[in-house]
Amino acid sequence: MAISQNWLLRPFQERSTQIFLGVLFAALVVVTFLHLFMPQDSALHVSAYTVTLLGKYLCYALLAVAVDLVWGYLGILSLGHGAFFALGGYAMGMYLMRQIGDRGTYGDPILPDFMVFLNWDELPWYWLGFDMAWFAFIMVLLAPGILALVFGFLAFRSRVTGVYLSIITQALTFALMLAFFRNEMGFGGNNGLTDFRDILGFNLRTDATRLGLFIATGIALAIGYVICRAIVTSKLGRVSIACRDAEARTRFLGYRVERVQLFVFVVSAMLAGVAGALYVPQVGIINPSEFSPLFSIEIVVWVALGGRATLYGAVIGAILVNYAKTVFTGVMPDAWLFALGGLFVLVTVFLPKGIAGLLQKRRKAKTDDDTPTGQEATA
């Protein structure tokens, strides 16, 4: 067999990963080219606004991949992944706040504007170190990772699964939202963190930086996708499918189900954190609304629309739904939620395996395969 034995290299030998990476990199190159080399008035010119919008979609796509990893392959329906996304975002936001320096409205060299406004005289301890990029970038991974570790340890050890776990994750993100709304928390209350200037010394308001962030997001999505693919094609991936479908059986085979769940959950939370960190400099603000339960549910809808347990389906779902959202909220802002709900119902009824399921069916019909598949598991 030609399949590589190295778990990290295995994804590159899969057709689906090759196609995914090919399409993604082609898209990055085309957008970059159209943005840089097409004249401003040309119909093919991609504006800096569009570049940033696409960057935002890619962040959502990475977030959707993270959710698909735990939902599709481990059977854990997390309705609180927005929390990990937002924590990564806040870690990045704190770094960007410290980069403002004395250029803020109040001109304080150390304290961010909102702290001066609240009459604080010194930086809270948890803001220390965020002036250094490396520290902030590590925290982007650690903050969501540690939350997921502690939360997951408690939940999985007590064998909380199914709907109950979904409800707890929902409660987790709601509790964090309430906490971050408070001014005393030191994260800017309901205004959040904004008014960013530079990232790594580059001015955030220039087109070049925006393009750079877009490309960085694309690369992060590629890396995140490959990591997830490497996990799901490894033996551990098959064990997580086993945990999803027959938890007790897996336990009697000698696997520690709760550790498998914890591992995958933490990896997923970290990916969500990276997505949040890349999102914040592109949209220019992070506030507690990212913690809202509604947002976390929306992520699940993207994945369901795209197709569970495929990873690329999650990417397609996230991009399509958010594109639809951009168009819809421009034309008929009030109708968006109805459209999303309607879309969700239609897909669940007619495309239970999502858009990815449709693609698979197409391919299957072409190769004229006669093996029936009872592949998809129940939620």
Q: Considering the complex, state which of residue 64 and residue 232 has its C-beta at the smaller distance from another protein.
A: 232
Q: Are 64 and 354 in contact (CB under 8 A)?
A: no
Q: How far is the CB of 4 from another protein (least distance, A)?
A: 9
- 344 touches 304 (CB < 8 A): yes
Whole-number minimum distance, CB 238 to another protein, in Å? Answer: 6
Q: For residue 73, which amino acid is it? A: Y
Q: What is the DSSP letter of 46?
A: P
Largest CA distance in the chain: 72
Q: Which is nearer to another protein, 113 or 247 (CB)?
A: 247
Q: How far is the CB of 16 from another protein (least distance, A)?
A: 17
User: Least distance from C-beta 266 to another protein, angstroms?
Assistant: 11
Of residues 237 and 276, the one with the C-beta less far from another protein: 237
Of 235 and 366, which CB lies nearer to another protein in the complex structure?
235
Q: Which is nearer to another protein, 4 or 206 (CB)?
A: 4
Spatial CA neighbour of 62 closest among 269, 323, 272:
272
Nearer to another protein, 86 or 230 (CB): 230
Contacts of 5 (CB under 8 A, 6+ apart): none
Contact, 291 vs 55, CB < 8 A?
Answer: no
* End-to-end Cα spacing for the chain: 33
Phi/psi for 121 (5° steps) reads -100, -20
Which C-beta is closer to another protein: that of 143 or that of 260?
Answer: 260
Helices (runs of H) and strands (runs of E) counted in the chain = 14, 4
Min separation Cβ 244 and another protein, Å: 8
Alpha carbons 260 and 238: distance in angstroms, whole number: 11
The distance of closest approach from Cβ of residue 373 to another protein in the complex, given in angstroms and rounded to an integer, is 6
* Between 118 and 223, CB nearer to another protein: 223
HSE toward the beta carbon, residue 222, CA cutoff 13 A = 18
Q: Which residues are near another protein by CB under 8 A?
A: 5-7, 231, 234-236, 238-239, 241-242, 244-246, 248-256, 259-260, 263, 371-377
User: Minimal distance in Å, beta carbon 260 to another protein?
Assistant: 7
Dist CA 149 CA 379 (whole Å): 23
Q: Which of 85, 31, 88, 62 is nearest to 215 (CA)?
A: 31
Task: Answer whether 375's CB lies under 8 Å from 310's CB.
Answer: no
Instruction: Report the distance separating Cα 148 and Cα 267, nearest Å.
Output: 9
- Give CA–CA dist 168/81, Å, rounded: 12
